[in-house]
Amino acid sequence: MSSTEVREQKRGDSLLKIHSSSLFAGRFVDERRNSTLLLRKYYFVQSSGKKAKTCPCNLNKDCIKEDMNCLKADAQVNHFPDSEGRFHSARAVLLKYHSSSKVKSSQETLLKLRGSEYVAGSCDLDLKTKIREQSAKRRINRIMKAEKEKEEQERLAAIEDQRKEEEKKKVRTLRSTTFAVMAMNVSAAGYNFKSFTDKKKWLAEKRMWTRQIARRKFRWSGHVVIVLCRVFKVLMHYSVDLTPETAAQRSFRSLRDKAEYKEILFNKSLYQKGKSQYAYVPEWAKTILEKSAMERTENELSQLHSMLKGLAAYDKFTYRIQLAMCRAMTYMKVEYPRVVLRKGHRGLSFNLIFSGSAFLNVEESLATTGHVWHTAITLQRGDGFGELALLRNTRRTASVVIREDAELLVVEKDVFSKTCPIIFDKELDDKIKFCKNLTLFDLWPDDALINLCIEAQIQQGKCSVVKVLDLQVPLKLARSRRMTKDEVYYPKGLVRKKNRFLADTSKIWIKELHKSLENSFSFGGTKMVDECYQECDNERCRDWDSESTSDDELLESETTLQTSNSPYEYQTLVKGKYDNTANENTNVIDEKGIRQEQAKMETTPTELEKRDQAESVDFSELLQTDSKTGKLNKDVDVSQLVKPTGRKLMLVSKGAVMMKIKRDDFFRYSTKQTLKKTRRIVQELDYPTEEIICRSYNNRCAWERFKRRQLQSTMADIQEKCIRHNNDLCSKSLIEAKGPLTPARIDGGPSRHERFKEYMSFVYDSHKVQGS
């Protein structure tokens, strides 16, 4: 030890001596306990104390002992088992403290110093070592902890593996047990696996049995399918046989083998601009329609919706209902001549025709012939049917037979009755509202009126295209339509120019009519469609052909024939089209005298059709028009209710929405009072007689013919003059062309040649302007 060190040590000892008495260890301990700040110092003191034991520096043992005694006197000293060491370390601190200029005698400052002064000096090195040791320990601890965790994980994994292994073992045992049981059974059944080959053989045999069983099952199911198909076929034929065939169906069947068939079925509306782009249900739609309702996505629903838009029966629903229908509807393809619905069956679904067509056959009870089936309308693409039974919860009211292979979209009863009644309720409300405006229904109680309106059908005649009873009529007078005797019509929208409809009932009548008209107007034979009158027509054709007078008339007759024979496109209705081949009994339906209308028959059917398309309105709109104009809401042919007159002529407007009420229904729901009133109304009715109708029709036709002839003869002169004039002009221009050039025209108006052309077109096309 160097002399300076010895000196230092001595000085330290003396300082210890001085201050040891002032180290009130008890108080120090208390403060240490109370203050967390001093905790670090406590550890320091403890560790340095320990270190001090190994410290080579020797303290004065007497002094230390003295200190120790002092401390021991204090009861708290027991808290410091290592207090001796603590005092050892204090020496260095005291030395530092006294060497500094600051003189702080308080115990607190001293302790602070003890904490902070171990930065340098020999004891600092100890501390660093200590800290290093500590961090090493911590590192070791951490490593040990991680190892422990790893061990734990490994242990858990081992346990898991063991569990799995046990489970596998169990399964293996189970399998082997099963196999053992099977083997036992096999041996019990007389088999004995003496060797492995035996077992293999047995297994092969077993496989063969299984294959045979599968084959037998397959054959059996095929057989069942074939039998079912046959049963369905028989059922189909049975149902077709049970459903009475109407005249329309018969005539259609006879046409099927002929060349006209394709022409009849050609639906030009499919190719019209603005119509749905799909003539048939596309494959993607079929895929969607095969899915269950909940599997269809929003996107798919909107795809279906855009495909169905434009179909009349679909368009009348609100968007929300349309989407509900898209979600629920299914696809069904039905072939000719299947019966889709039969009258009297329970209603299970509502159907919408996407492609193809169907006959709607209704049963009529006529006074003369009893129960007769006739085709009321031909349902076409866009028509819906089968709603009545669902809405009223009754049996089917009509039969629907497929006319040409059709694609139907079927909405089940549940969905339909949940979503759609609102629309039909609205229609019913409209009907009731309309009826209440008529004097005929003034006395009708509400419930009877509701029942009557439920039965009544709304039909829309968009254009009065009529095939007139083989009359040789001017083209503009159009074609005829037939209606059944027992129906009463209430036109709701006699809005446009009226036309007359002549329809036939009996041969006698035809002759009468012929007689009454022949004086002033000649008849030409036209082709009859209804086979019931085929014979009669042939006779008439022979007669009338001989009576045809001029080439003009023949030409006209041909034109009429072309028009009147254009297949099945006479009437566009709210639902379907009138089938003009079906009904045998026809009536006169009239709104007012024909005189008014005679002046208004100028427009050609084509123009009318165009106008109809442009002006077509729906039922509620018409009702509004009705109340404003007062032109509508006329009872038509009410006289047929009380006493069927069997009228043969009818007058129907160029466009009308009509409510068709069956005579039977009218009587079923009417009371004594209402019947009395109906009779009174009928007596007061000023309905033109058939004679008047025929005569005015006759006059009208004669007038038309006269006008046309007059016009033609006048125009023939003018035409001649014009041609001569034109020839002159041509020869002149030739001369001029040879002569000197004339200056160009400066007025900019039409040239002479243009004017001439214009004039000629006026002359030649003048026949298009009627009544001029």
Report the run of H or E that residue 333 belongs to, with start and end: strand 330-334
Q: One symbol per residue from 575 to 614: x for binding ligand CMP (CB under 6 A), - otherwise; what is it? A: x---------------------------------------
Q: Please say whether the beta carbons of 435 and 413 come within 8 A.
A: no
Q: One symbol per residue from 451 to 490: x for binding ligand CMP (CB under 6 A), - otherwise; what is it? A: ------x---------------------------------
DSSP three-state, residue 526:
coil
The residue (of 388 and 701) whose beta carbon lies closer to ligand CMP is: 388
476/2 Cα distance (integer angstroms): 147
Contacts of ligand CMP in 67-126 (CB under 6 A): none
Provide the minimum distance between the beta carbon of 355 and ligand CMP in the complex, in angstroms, as a whole number.
19
The residue (of 386 and 655) whose beta carbon lies closer to ligand CMP is: 386
Where do runs of H (alpha helix) occur along 385-524?
388-392, 413-419, 421-436, 446-455, 507-518
Tokens of 645: 């007159």
Provide the minimum distance between the beta carbon of 411 and ligand CMP in the complex, in angstroms, as a whole number.
12
Provide the minimum distance between the beta carbon of 267 and ligand CMP in the complex, in angstroms, as a whole number.
19
306/283 Cα distance (integer angstroms): 15
The residue (of 347 and 688) whose beta carbon lies closer to ligand CMP is: 347
The residue (of 314 and 687) whose beta carbon lies closer to ligand CMP is: 314
Handedness of CA 219, 225, 228, 234 (dihedral sign): negative
Q: Please say whether the beta carbons of 563 and 475 come within 8 A.
A: yes
Residue 601: exposure state from Cβ atoms within 10 A (0-12, 13-18, ≥19) = buried
Q: Please say whether the beta carbons of 70 and 27 come within 8 A.
A: no
583/146 Cα distance (integer angstroms): 100
Locus of tokens 């002929």? 258
Distance of CA 123 to the CA centre of its chain: 92
Where do runs of H (alpha helix) occur along 104-195?
107-116, 122-188
The residue (of 575 and 700) whose beta carbon lies closer to ligand CMP is: 575
The residue (of 458 and 478) whose beta carbon lies closer to ligand CMP is: 458
Terminal C-alpha separation, the chain: 152
Provide the minimum distance between the beta carbon of 662 and ligand CMP in the complex, in angstroms, as a whole number.
8
- C-alpha separations of 663 from 642, 658, 668 in Å: 9, 15, 9
The residue (of 360 and 528) whose beta carbon lies closer to ligand CMP is: 360
Rounded to the nearest 10°, the torsion over CA 141, 143, 149, 152 is -100
Provide the minimum distance between the beta carbon of 400 and ligand CMP in the complex, in angstroms, as a whole number.
6
The residue (of 85 and 386) whose beta carbon lies closer to ligand CMP is: 386
Provide the minimum distance between the beta carbon of 426 and ligand CMP in the complex, in angstroms, as a whole number.
16
Q: One symbol per residue from 382 to 411: x for binding ligand CMP (CB under 6 A), - otherwise; what is it? A: ---xxxxx------xxx-------------
Q: Please say whether the beta carbons of 500 and 675 come within 8 A.
A: no
Handedness of CA 81, 85, 87, 89 (dihedral sign): negative
Piece of the chain touching ligand CMP by CB under 6 A; list 97-105, 327-335, 381-389, 474-482? 381-389
Provide the minimum distance between the beta carbon of 396 and ligand CMP in the complex, in angstroms, as a whole number.
4
The residue (of 459 and 560) whose beta carbon lies closer to ligand CMP is: 459
The residue (of 42 and 317) whose beta carbon lies closer to ligand CMP is: 317
Rounded to the nearest 10°, the torsion over CA 446, 452, 454, 459 is -130
38/44 Cα distance (integer angstroms): 10
Q: Please say whether the beta carbons of 474 and 499 come within 8 A.
A: no
**Comparing C-alpha atoms, which of 427, 193, 231, 229 is closest to residue 317?**
427
Provide the minimum distance between the beta carbon of 484 and ligand CMP in the complex, in angstroms, as a whole number.
10
Q: One symbol per residue from 547 to 576: x for binding ligand CMP (CB under 6 A), - otherwise; what is it? A: ----------------------------x-
Q: Which positions ≥6 away from 409 have C-beta within 8 Å?
A: 281, 289, 308, 329, 330, 331, 332, 351, 352, 354
> Using the rule CB under 6 A, is 377 a contact of ligand CMP?
yes
The residue (of 399 and 522) whose beta carbon lies closer to ligand CMP is: 399
Q: Please say whether the beta carbons of 480 and 469 come within 8 A.
A: yes
The residue (of 577 and 705) whose beta carbon lies closer to ligand CMP is: 577
The residue (of 386 and 605) whose beta carbon lies closer to ligand CMP is: 386
Q: In the bound complex, which residue of the shown chain has the CB atom lying closest to ligand CMP?
A: 389
Provide the minimum distance between the beta carbon of 457 and ligand CMP in the complex, in angstroms, as a whole number.
4
The residue (of 324 and 341) whose beta carbon lies closer to ligand CMP is: 341
* 294 secondary structure, DSSP code: G
Considering only residues 12, 85, 337, 347, which one is a binding residue for ligand CMP as defined by CB under 6 A?
Answer: 347
Provide the minimum distance between the beta carbon of 398 and ligand CMP in the complex, in angstroms, as a whole number.
4
Number of residues that bind ligand CMP (CB under 6 A): 16
DSSP three-state, residue 700:
helix
The residue (of 110 and 362) whose beta carbon lies closer to ligand CMP is: 362
Provide the minimum distance between the beta carbon of 353 and ligand CMP in the complex, in angstroms, as a whole number.
12
Provide the minimum distance between the beta carbon of 264 and ligand CMP in the complex, in angstroms, as a whole number.
21
- C-alpha separations of 524 from 441, 469, 701 in Å: 44, 10, 13
Provide the minimum distance between the beta carbon of 408 and ligand CMP in the complex, in angstroms, as a whole number.
13
Contacts of ligand CMP in 418-457 (CB under 6 A): 457
Provide the minimum distance between the beta carbon of 584 and ligand CMP in the complex, in angstroms, as a whole number.
16
Q: Sort residue 410 into left (φ over 0), alpha (ψ -120 to 50) or beta.
A: beta
The residue (of 575 and 648) whose beta carbon lies closer to ligand CMP is: 575
What is the bridge-based pairing of β-strands 399-412 and 384-385? Answer: unpaired
Provide the minimum distance between the beta carbon of 295 and ligand CMP in the complex, in angstroms, as a whole number.
29
Considering only residues 64, 285, 362, 483, which one is a binding residue for ligand CMP as defined by CB under 6 A?
Answer: 362
Provide the minimum distance between the beta carbon of 483 and ligand CMP in the complex, in angstroms, as a whole number.
11
Considering only residues 63, 376, 513, 588, which one is a binding residue for ligand CMP as defined by CB under 6 A?
Answer: 376
Provide the minimum distance between the beta carbon of 402 and ligand CMP in the complex, in angstroms, as a whole number.
14
The residue (of 487 and 609) whose beta carbon lies closer to ligand CMP is: 487
Piece of the chain touching ligand CMP by CB under 6 A; list 177-185, 380-388, 594-602, 690-698? 380-388
Q: Please say whether the beta carbons of 661 and 514 come within 8 A.
A: no
Residue 532: exposure state from Cβ atoms within 10 A (0-12, 13-18, ≥19) = middle
Contact residues for ligand CMP, defined by CB under 6 A:
341, 347, 360, 362, 376-377, 385-389, 396-398, 457, 575
